[in-house]
Amino acid sequence: MRLCAPVATAISAGGLDGNPPAEATPQTSPALSLPDKPSIAVLPFQNMSGDPEQDYFADGMVDDIITGLSRIKWLFVIASNSTFTYKGRAVDVKQVGRDLGVRYVLEGSVRKAADRVRITGQLIDSANRSACVGRTL
């Protein structure tokens, strides 16, 4: 089997003659179309506790949510390796929906103080950025 694909070369300082290459302009990828069934992406939860060790707990919460949602046959769920590319970044939910081809985005935060844990999640319709459900546990 043989794979043929276009190859692009990027030269940060410029082309071989010192001028920037013609294809140096940034390009955005086209928006993915929405699947036929309801679709969701669970973004990494923000660690609000200030304790870097709680990142593991927050990431584990997101993994558990993704795993639980993926058991629902009528729901299209984006894998964590795709959503975790947004970790630590401020994101535009509408753009995330377009990039990943989903209608709904779940974002949230985890906060731990002493022996108490507070987990907050917000389900957002990425098409119009409206909050569907907000819940604090």
Number of domains in the chain: 1
Domain containing 79 equals 27-136
Is residue 66 domain-resident?
yes
Per-residue pLDDT, averaged over 80-107, amounts to 92
Q: How far apart are CA 54 and CA 44, in angstroms?
A: 13
Is residue 67 domain-resident?
yes
Residue type, 99: D
Q: What is the per-residue pLDDT for 42?
A: 96
Percentage of the chain surpassing pLDDT 70?
68
User: Under 8 Å CB-to-CB from 43, ≥6 apart: which residues?
Assistant: 62, 83, 86, 91, 96, 105, 106, 107, 108
Confidence of residue 52 (pLDDT cuts 50, 70, 90): confident
Is residue 31 domain-resident?
yes
Enter the pTM of the model. 0.70
Is residue 7 domain-resident?
no
What CATH number does residue 43 fall under? 3.40.50.10610
Q: What is the per-residue pLDDT for 46?
A: 93
